[in-house]
Structure 1
Amino acid sequence: MKINKVSLILVILAAFVLGIVAGSKLNGLSFSNNSLDPQTKTCKYNNKEYQTGTSFPAEDNCNTCSCNNGEVACTLIACDTK
């Protein structure tokens, strides 16, 4: 089976043009998944602002709190009242 050179060139050219068109369409896409957003929320606790990942003393000065993307979580250890 003999392939015509012109047909082969046309097939290659068509594939090339299709690749360019598909690439330009994909280039215009943007993905907006908030869970992948690198910006994280800060936490407010006792009128102070804390960054995600930081730990700080709780109001009772016995327990420890931490900030995780806008949510404050504190330990609940019984403290000495001496």
Structure 2
Amino acid sequence: MSDTPPDHLSNDPRSPHYDEAALGRGIGIRFKGVERRDVEEYCISEGWIRVAAGKALDRRGQPLTIKLKGEVEAWYLLPQAQ
């Protein structure tokens, strides 16, 4: 695993962009210059994040999300395990 987080990552295990190893190290996200802790999914190259839209749930019990567009930066919170 490199020291750069994936370009596209989701914390939903049903997503093809889910990566347990990367999430285990912890990911920091800065969106439009502000550090965010409520990000459900992000894509650096396309410049967007998905966040929960309040407490609303879809019919499967998953939080409804909205896509916000802007500059996205990501970094690992913990160093790589040896």
TM-score range, shorter chain: under 0.3
Q: Which has the higher contact order (CA 8 A, sep 6+)?
A: 2
More strand per residue: 2
The two structures have a TM-score, normalised by structure 2, of 0.22
**Greater C-alpha Rg:** 1
